[in-house]
Structure 1
């Protein structure tokens, strides 16, 4: 199997064959996958070949800022159509390559061509928001701080070896705008990263965030950090640490990089985060259960929703768990 779509593109670019060239990406999948490259325009992309009777609607992908998406006749497999996804700007090639690698991995796990095409469309819908909004902006200070906290917990989870690296990354659901930041089958963890100035006051977003109704166990990981320009660990440092941990697992590395992109972290933004350092001042894990201070969905009056409220965790000491106790709970579920 090819290591990555980027490796295939580099090979095709060196050949400098004039026109649009497609090269089969060697992976087992229900549809054929190609890397595509157009010379001398230096246009990179990925293509999927599937039977003409598979239905597909591209109306929502017209006039995208960074991507060109076309459905054409496959001249190699004449009973098929070819879905072309091309990057308009060379500047964002690394981001696009990561997204393509993730898409190929998703398609590889599908069982039918119809399922594969449906997953392709779902993934491109996610890409739209990334390319339209996030590529030109960096993360806000609060988003940087929040991501740093999630990466701290992710690193702890991977280090415990309760799951494979890939499975641990799949449990990280906060990047996909899920209700909670880490979601297992019967447990979940909400991560709250707070600056030291107001370290015990935590904002809860929504009536479901601390609602354990459908779970056997729900945890709150509370991280208090001090930020400065002088000393500590940057967000980039934490990303690099995790990449080093994952470097021997290509699938895990690709998934991690995709998750970072989902979170709005792009490598070309690294200079924006280079002078903001974090020091951990306090970290606690709470078991959210019984009379833990919170609002639950079934407690709301009819018509009330999207609740935002604050809790003071200094009143929650009876719910504290050690880190070992917390991960033992997850392991024993």
Structure 2
């Protein structure tokens, strides 16, 4: 099964191979009905990628203009005397973001029949997506790579231990800057990844991070890894592993791609990330209950509104769960 994301990437690669005069464009229909649809296009003079959406009428744009997106020009174009909204990518280094946006629009516009409805959907999506294009963020730092690797490794371990692929992708919240990295149906898991030799100390970045409010159970999972200059367990390898698992889950493949972008991971930086391999040394977890050392809003003096702190896991080492025990705990609805 070819999902929308891969289909659009393949379509773009095909457009790149199309012959054409400098004044011409080539189009590929990616979604829509006979009344309204979206096309991926290429302008041959500068190889600029374009999303053409329509047909529309000028009055649709009058009361609700599109948001300004850095590196993307919007204008009106004509085909067969019909008007289309054209989004042209000016920053070619952002082609991966642009094609992921095309996949999201394909999904959102799949059942749209009328231009007014379609334009409302497009505007809503672009308001969210302008943040992806406006970011000045460079490549992930070593600590950010370590954190992302730990989350992806834990996601793969969950999938390998009978938690459904779609459930894991929905549960992954690390890129959303949520309080907890995984929010599963029966439990939440906060991930602490480290390549340090000393794994007894973990840093907690807020009073919400170990606050169990709103979840049935909360666990802190520590993924201790060794970092090597060469090896197979690189960030690109972990990403590819999950992409392959999502080949039969097109909607969740798109969600995964969006969360990767939100985490700061870009395929264009793959060669840089391939220089560091993460070998799992140990995975252990702790139930964050009344006996676990933590600070929350309910446990601090009045007047303190935020805090960062460190926990010595050596003081609760005897409470550590194996990974199999964690899987049982987050998969079971029975009371402790």
Note whether the superposition's TM-score is higher than 0.5.
Answer: yes
Once residues 225 and 75 of structure 1 are traced to their aligned partners in structure 2, the CA distance between those partners, rounded to angstroms, is 55
Aligned to 2:153: 152
Q: Which residue of 1 aligns with 2:100?
A: 98
Return the match for 2:88 from 72, 79, 86: 86
2:282 aligned counterpart, secondary structure: strand
Distance of 2:189 and 2:28 partners within structure 1? 43
* TM superposition score normalised by structure 1: 0.82
1:16 corresponds to 2:36: no
Partners of 2:118 and 2:9 in 1: how far apart? 24
Deviation at 1:145, TM superposition (A): 0.6
SS at 1:316 equivalent? helix
Q: Distance in 2 between matches of 1:194 and 1:249?
A: 31
Q: Could you say if the C-alpha distance between residues 57 and 320 of structure 1 is closer, same or farther in structure 2, counting changes exceeding 3 Å?
A: farther
Q: How does 1:117-156 map to 2 (within 5 A)?
A: 117-129=122-134, 132-134=135-137, 137-156=138-157
Instruction: State the alpha-carbon separation in 2 of the partners of residues 77 and 296 from structure 1.
Output: 62
Q: Cα 1:228–1:23, aligned 2, differ >3 Å: closer, same or farther?
A: closer
Q: CA deviation at 1:178?
A: 1.8
Cα gap change, 1:305/1:127 in structure 2, threshold over 3 Å: closer, same or farther? same
- Secondary structure of 1:4's aligned partner: helix
Inter-partner Cα distance in structure 1 for 2:234 and 2:124: 35
Kindly indicate whether the alpha-carbon contact (under 8 Å) linking 2:75 and 2:87 is maintained by their aligned counterparts in 1: no
Deviating more after overlay: 208-217 vs 304-313 = 304-313
For 2:289 and 2:268, the matched residues in 1 are separated by 42
Cα distance in 1 between the residues matched to 2:126 and 2:220: 34
Q: Which moved more, 1:119-128 or 1:20-29?
A: 20-29
Q: What SS is found at the alignment partner of 2:129?
A: helix
Equivalent residue, structure 1, for 2:270: 270
Q: Which residue of 1 aligns with 2:292?
A: 292
- Aligned ranges for residues 131-210 of structure 1 at < 5 Å? 132-134=135-137, 137-163=138-164, 165-210=165-210
- Following superposition of structure 1 onto structure 2, how do residues 23-42 of structure 1 map, counting pairs within 5 Å? 23-27=28-32, 32-42=37-47
Higher RCO (C-alpha 8 Å, min separation 6): 2
Cα distance 1:73–1:96, how it changes in 2: closer, same or farther (>3 A)? closer
| Separation in structure 1 between the aligned mates of residue 310 and residue 196 of structure 2, nearest angstrom | 16
Shift in CA distance, 169/107, structure 1 to aligned 2, threshold 3 Å? farther
Deviations 1:283-307 (A, max 9, x none): 1011111121111123344543332
Query: In 2, are the aligned partners of 1:29 and 1:108 still within 8 Å (CA)?
Result: no
For residues 132 and 36 of structure 2, the distance between their equivalents in structure 1, rounded to whole angstroms, comes to 21
- Structure 1 residue 317 and structure 2 residue 322: aligned? no
Gaps of 5+ in 2: none
The correspondence for 1:6, drawn from 9, 18, 25, is 9
1:205–1:244: structure 2 CA closer, same or farther, 3 Å change rule? same
Question: Scaled by the length of structure 2, what TM-score is found?
Answer: 0.81
Q: Is the 8 A contact 1:12 1:37 kept in 2?
A: yes
Give the corresponding residue for 2:332.
Answer: 332
5+ long unaligned stretches in structure 1: none
Q: CA deviation at 1:29?
A: 12
Give the CA RMSD over aligned residues: 3.2
C-alpha deviation, 1:309, in angstroms? 0.8
Which residues of 2 match residues 44-59 of structure 1 at below 5 A? Answer: 44-49=49-54, 52-53=59-60, 55-59=63-67
Report the equivalent of 1:72. 76
Which position in structure 1 is the counterpart of 2:282? 282
